[in-house]
Amino acid sequence: MSTTKGLEGIVAAESKISSIINDQLTYVGYTIDDLAEHASFEEVVFLLWFKRLPNKNELAKFDEELFENMTISNAIVEHFKSYDIHNVHPMAALRTAISLLGLYDSEADDMSDEANNRKAIRLQAKVAAIVSAFSRIRDGKEVVQPKKGLSYAANFLYMLNGKEPIDLEVEAINKALVLHADHELNASTFTARVCVATLSDIYSGITSAISALKGPLHGGANEAVMNMLLEIGEVDNAIPYIKDKMANKEKIMGMGHRVYKTGDPRAKHLKKMSKELTARHGMEKWYEMSIKIEDYIKEEKGLPANVDFYSASVYHSLGIKHDLYTPIFAMSRFSGWIAHILEQYENNRLIRPRAEYVGPQNQVYVDINKR
């Protein structure tokens, strides 16, 4: 029996959702460059779930359904208020809140296609409300309800900050959501598929995916990048800091990617947004620092930046608290997780790999008095 550590290079499923071929990421055959430049996040969600782009009427109906479900019950709000919210990581709060949603959903165990599609809408809409509500409650502020006529990206920023965002800020969040929406069989997506392959419900699948994304080797990388930039402090400190890290063989977060050889195709879009947003808000040093680090590591190690590297300075320039970076990643990736869960249900087979045993053999039980 041959084994591959971390399942690297192993093809574990067939999918029509996204692909990574020759360092090009596509969603249902559309390149990420095409979608990042032209599509709204709502169009991308529809594309991932239904395997085609919506027409004008379909998109209007889809937008309306998302808006109508973009609120959370008082039970979730009171839940957030019931514990020491300042000592709870937002990803832990999100994980628990999604599980709670399943308790209050009368259709939670209805496995029909129609019910699952309705739950998909509710989940994608409510995650934006949950993340923003958690942040505001933690800051001692009132929860803000979504505003009709705003896009998904704009409404998230509106519910988070209590004021309508400018166009550049909406563009940045929309691009970030599009770029993070799906990424083939990454760790959290695979976790979701393994979970629902047992025919568990969609809330269980999403909760398990959130748990996987919470880890710093997956969703937490952009938060770690911003912490690094803050630790560096000034542009002139960047290279000495990185040299010291490399001398100590410490990992530089946000650089390189397991499945891309020539570079993450998503990074350039957030790099551009980082340049524009940091300039708009007088925070150019974070972009300049990032450029210096990327250029140096690319030259020394041949590792270009990945999508997490520039998303850090994008979110920071928007005034978003650093521990919300991963929940925003999750908010986007809900669309991909749901797409994969629905696809798994369509042609399900229990996912049950084997393990190669490498422990001791031929042991004989010894009475406890003789050990």
Q: Which residues contact 311 (CB under 8 A, 6 or more apart)?
A: 176, 180, 222, 225, 270, 325, 329
Q: How many CA atoms lie within 13 A of 26 on its CB side?
A: 12
In what side-by-side order are the strands of the sheet with 30-31?
18-21, 24-27, 30-31
* 295 noted as active-site residue: no
Is residue 20 classed as helix, strand or coil in its secondary structure? strand
How far is 141 from 136, CA to CA, in rounded Å?
Answer: 5
Q: Catalytic: which of 257, 269, 316, 340?
A: 257
- Run of H or E including 21: strand 18-21
* 218 noted as active-site residue: no
Is residue 258 within 8 Å of 4, Cβ to Cβ? no
Q: How many CB atoms lie within 10 A of CB 163?
A: 9
How far is 278 from 112, CA to CA, in rounded Å?
Answer: 47
Is residue 27 classed as helix, strand or coil in its secondary structure? strand
Is residue 326 within 8 Å of 223, Cβ to Cβ? yes
Closest CA to 101 of 76, 124, 137, 125: 76
Q: Catalytic: which of 182, 183, 308, 340?
A: 308
The catalytic residues are: 257, 308
